[in-house]
């Protein structure tokens, strides 16, 4: 939460903490701990999620999903695909390349490729013209729908804990 500020005689690139931000240090530490807990819980929101036994495989899957559906997120209008029983049609999912997934996650290409191969073998994603998608059929499993609901509870837990820690959320 430091802001870069140059003062006379300061070394280039030196960072000082703005006085208004210094009071937020305790909140920042709490928010960091809480967000890490959220992240770890979100990897396995239900016991049935352990199809992908490696957390990195799960993260690569999330990267594919984000690439496929990120263009549909509009905070100003509700999605017609918000209901649990209405999946985003495959034709609206934007294929994403293995390289794009690797870059978005900051992972080496070869590592990402190996995890993509595992996801393809598990039937969790498929290659299509233009890249990879997680098809609607792979997401229609009841345990995936239960995971969505478990993640909402996880988000509520994070939101409540952040408010209790003193973070102002709008």
Q: Would you say the pTM of this structure is higher than 0.95?
A: no
116 Cβ partners below 8 Å, 6+ apart? Answer: 60, 64, 98, 101, 125, 132
18 and 7 Cβ atoms separated by less than 8 Å: no
**Domain with residues 49-164, CATH architecture:** Orthogonal Bundle (1.10)
pLDDT, tens only, 17-55:
555 555 578 888 999 999 999 998 888 765 555 555 788
Extents of the domains making up the chain: 1-43, 49-164
């Amino acid at each position: 939460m430091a802001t870069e500020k140059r003062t006379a005689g300061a070394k280039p690139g030196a960072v000082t903490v703005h006085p208004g931000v210094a009071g937020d240090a305790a909140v920042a530490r709490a928010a960091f701990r809480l967000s890490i807990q959220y992240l770890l819980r979100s990897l396995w929101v239900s016991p049935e999620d352990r199809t992908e036994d490696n957390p990195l495989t799960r993260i690569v899957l999330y990267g594919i999903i984000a690439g496929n559906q990120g263009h549909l997120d509009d905070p100003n209008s509700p999605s017609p695909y918000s209901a649990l029983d209405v999946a985003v049609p495959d034709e609206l999912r934007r294929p994403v390349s293995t390289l794009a997934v690797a870059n978005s996650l900051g992972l080496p290409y070869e590592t990402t490729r190996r995890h993509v191969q595992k996801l393809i073998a598990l039937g969790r994603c498929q290659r299509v013209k233009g890249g990879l998608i997680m098809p609607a059929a792979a997401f229609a499993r009841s345990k995936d729908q239960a995971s969505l609901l478990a993640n909402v509870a996880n988000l509520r837990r994070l939101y409540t804990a952040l408010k209790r820690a003193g973070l102002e959320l709008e």
